[in-house]
Amino acid sequence: MALVKSRNQIVPPFTPTTKRRKTHKPTANEPNQALTAPESQNRKEEKEKEQEKEEGTEQEKEETQNGQEETQTEKEGSQSGKEQSQTGKQTKKKTEQKQQQQQTKSKSEQKRKRKEKEQHRKEYQATFHATLSTRFYGELTADKEDDAIPFAFEQEEQASASRQVMYADASGNWQFASVAVSCRNPDDRSWVDNQYFVTDIVGQKIELGELFGIGAALKLRLEKQRQMGPVATGSGGDELLIFSDSHSAMRLIIAYDKNPFKVKQDKAPLAQKVCLLSHQLWLLGVKVRIHWVPGHPKRGKSPQGHKRVDLLCSKAVDGAKPKTSSYLDC
């Protein structure tokens, strides 16, 4: 290349120059790319670990939040279950109360019906009248309690030699049957008591003891009438009134009079003796009338004669005469 001459200087010939690259210095916030390969790898691993740690922490937070939400849901479910359980208990309690009320009502209704039935049975038993002359000779009457008690008081006051009043009662245990008969003395208005304990009807129904008491009253009057002799013809006859608190004994006499073969074998012999005694008195001119009187009246007082025989039987006092059913033989 030719040199160009200037007036004052000489310009050297042009030669191409190589431009230096600026070296980039890493800042504090930028990674140093000039680090060696192992150090760079370690930094990457640390960064990845930090990133994984952050992701794990985030995941744990999410899981914790989900767990809290599940716990809250469980609490709500538990609360709902408790409310449902409480509602169920209340419903069950109401149902049980309703059933109990129905059962109580049903029991009350059954009790009322039983009471009505028992009342009807008592009224039926307390209203019968029978005039017999087949085997038993006499009358058997049972009025209602309100009528039976005043009648007994009236007959006690009107007792006389021709109208004798007697009371018969019995009680029993497993050793003997205690029987008592009391009669009003028409002369001085005093009471004559007779007590027995019967050994051959032990452990049986008390109606046999009551029946023995009626028979004992008949036997006492028969013995006296035999001493006095028959009642004079045309006088209308004498009357013997026996008061007993046993419907069953009176009905047993009626049953035997109608058909003795339908009466049980353990009761028929005693019923037969009572019927024979009534027939003997009828032959002597004495009319027999047996009336029912309540043993323990609901209203009012018991007649004096019944109080006496009831007390004698309940105490089973010493001095009672030991007897058997054969005592009633004519």
Supply the pLDDT for residue 21.
56
CATH number of the domain within which 143 lies: 3.30.420.10
Residue 230 forms part of a structural domain: yes
Residue 314 forms part of a structural domain: yes
Which residues form the domain of 163?
Answer: 134-328
Q: Looking at this protein, which amino acid is placed at residue 52?
A: E
Residue 39 forms part of a structural domain: no
- Residue 153, pLDDT above cutoff 80: yes
254 or 318, which is more confident? 254
Q: How far apart are CA 203 and CA 205, in angstroms?
A: 7
| Average pLDDT value for the chain | 81
Residue 176 forms part of a structural domain: yes
Residue 300 forms part of a structural domain: yes
- Residue 150, pLDDT above cutoff 50: yes
Per-residue pLDDT tens digits for 180-211: 999 988 888 889 999 998 888 766 678 899 99
Residue 289 forms part of a structural domain: yes
Contact between 231 and 238 under an 8 Å Cβ cutoff? The reply is yes
Per-residue pLDDT tens digits for 27-59: 555 555 444 556 667 777 777 777 777 776 777
Query: Could you give the number of structural domains in the chain?
Result: 1
Burial level of 110, CB count in 10 A (0-12/13-18/19+)?
exposed
- Residue 287, pLDDT above cutoff 90: yes
Phi–psi pair at 289, nearest 5 degrees: -130, 120
Measured CA distances, 291 to 9, 251, 312 (Å): 184, 12, 20
Supply the pLDDT for residue 259.
94
57 or 260, which is more confident? 260
Supply the pLDDT for residue 67.
72
Using a pLDDT cut of 70, give the percent of the chain over it.
80
Measured CA distances, 191 to 171, 181, 194, 238 (Å): 20, 10, 10, 20
Measured CA distances, 271 to 134, 161, 202 (Å): 13, 27, 17
Residue 124 forms part of a structural domain: no
- pTM across the whole model: 0.63
Contact between 141 and 128 under an 8 Å Cβ cutoff? The reply is yes
Residue 52 forms part of a structural domain: no
What letter does residue 328 receive in the DSSP assignment? G
